[in-house]
Structure 1
């Protein structure tokens, strides 16, 4: 039975599916006449003004770190491992003293890179079945164990497969891309925030009108991120 509905395709009565582009795009044979519209034109929506995030008890007393240059990372892997351990011990001390990190302390904390690089993951931790650290890494490996609890140590070792922080030049390029697309601030969610390089490199004009929430699986890294971005909401979880 013919169907005169121009928005219905007859799959059996004609060849509508084989016409045009083969998807029924030109199968609407009936020409639709424009209907007069006497309704008033809708008013243009007024864009909501971006709001500065208000202070809470969790973000008072400290300032977020904002990088102008790079982090000043060491070139050698041994020194990076030592900087990691120094940052872990420093973060524990600051947390025990229940105070925010100073600017100088944040400069040391931001050098924490995790242990995801193969030169660190394969040397700082014992390989399965080995009782000793690799030759030349005994002192650094022992220092890391002594600087962390057993749970923290296990987490750092487990997270080596994830601890690959985005380099600064890529973060800057992504922020530039967002600005070019017209993003002018708001809520930012980073599911794997690491030490918080994305908020640390956020363009200056976006900082007052943006609020960052970061999720970090490793508790050691999450502790450092809170000290580097005290005005952000850092969640230790998956």
Structure 2
């Protein structure tokens, strides 16, 4: 393989700046940013529009459902829909997740909901420090660019934090099975 054969990552591909807030703190904040990101994502039209820095930050903070599995619990949601909230556990679930879950039911297709629910066991994101350390290790091992396959790509943090020296001489194929998470990465 010759580096000349590699189609480099376009300069316009989203680059995560060192000052970007990637992970909101706390379950309520993560749930809110996920719903906001999905709402924005669903409002975007193809072909891909130019996003404002605020919109890019809103999508960047989407964290998936690994730490938010409770929002997909079926029994309290069913009880809420039926107006049956007699026990304290269901009442607490409704206060914490009810409005977000209702909005997600309206924003997502049934397939997207099923994929979101299924992702709760494995949708966990890597901190900026660890991503940067991995890129440093890869560089020390001698990788300076080429073809990159990023499986379980998530929202693209590994690609977004890739060092410019590697980015300029690399092409990336990113694979993500969760439709919403994969769509967030495209922006």
TM-score scaled by structure 1?
Answer: 0.65
Offset of 1:67 from its aligned partner? Answer: 2.8
Computed over aligned residues only, the root mean square deviation of the Cα atoms, in angstroms, reads: 2.4
Query: CA separation in 2, counterparts of 1:205 and 1:54?
Result: 11
Query: CA separation in 2, counterparts of 1:130 and 1:143?
Result: 12
1:86 aligned residue: 36
After TM superposition, the runs of 4+ consecutive aligned structure 1 residues lying more than 4 A away are: 47-52
Offset of 1:204 from its aligned partner? Answer: 1.5
Q: Deviations over 1:188-224 (max 9, x none)?
A: 1111000001011101211110111111011111111
Which residues of structure 2 form unaligned runs of 5+? 81-92
Q: 1:86 to 1:51 in 2, by over 3 A?
A: same
Output aligned runs, 1:1-238, within 5 Å. Answer: 48-50=2-4, 53=7, 62-94=12-44, 96-104=45-53, 105-117=55-67, 120-122=68-70, 124-128=71-75, 131-132=78-79, 134-136=93-95, 137-227=97-187
Q: Which has the higher helix share?
A: 2
Q: Deviations over 1:137-165 (max 9, x none)?
A: 21111111111111111110111111111
Contact 2:6/2:147 (8 A) holds in 1? no
Q: With a CA cutoff of 8 Å and minimum separation of 6, indicate the structure with the bigger relative contact order.
A: 2
1:235 aligned residue: none
Number of residues of Structure 1 aligned to a counterpart in Structure 2 = 173
Query: CA separation in 2, counterparts of 1:115 and 1:71?
Result: 18
Larger Rg: 1
Offset of 1:187 from its aligned partner? Answer: 0.8
Offset of 1:54 from its aligned partner? Answer: 5.8
Q: Deviations over 1:92-132 (max 9, x none)?
A: 222x3533342422111010000111xx111x112458613
